[in-house]
Amino acid sequence: MLYKEDWEDAQRRLIAWWDCEIIDRPVIQVTAPRARPLPAAEPPQATVEEARIMPEVVVARNEHRFAHTWFGGDAFPYVFVNLGPGIAGTYLGGNAVIDENTVWYPASHDSVDQIPDLPFDREGRWWEITSAVTQGCAQDGKGKWITSITDIGGIADLISNLIGPEKLLFALHENPEGVKKARDRLLRLWFEVYDACHGIVKPYQEGTTPWLGVWSPGKTYSSQCDFAAFLSPEMFREFFLPDLAAQFAFLDHGIYHWDGPDAVVHLDALLELEDLHAIQWVPGDGAPQPIEWAPMLRKIQDAGKGLVLHVSAKDVPRALREFRPEGLLMKTGCASEEEARDLVRYVEAHGGIR
Please write the tens of the pLDDT for every residue from 241-281: 999 999 999 999 999 999 999 999 999 999 999 999 999 99
In-domain check, residue 312: yes
Rounded CA-CA distance 282/261 in Å is: 9
In-domain check, residue 125: yes
Please write the tens of the pLDDT for every residue from 96-148: 999 988 999 999 999 999 999 999 999 999 999 999 999 999 999 999 999 99
Rounded CA-CA distance 93/206 in Å is: 33
CATH number at 279 reads: 3.20.20.210
Share of the chain above pLDDT 90, in %: 97
Please report the pLDDT score of residue 179 as a whole number.
98
Please report the pLDDT score of residue 24 as a whole number.
94
In-domain check, residue 2: no
In-domain check, residue 1: no
User: Does residue 285 carry a pLDDT above 90?
Assistant: no
**Domain extent at residue 48:** 7-350
Please report the pLDDT score of residue 101 as a whole number.
87
Max CA pair span of the chain: 61
Please report the pLDDT score of residue 353 as a whole number.
65
Residue 194 burial (10 A CB sphere; 0-12, 13-18, 19+) = buried
Count how many domains the chain has: 1
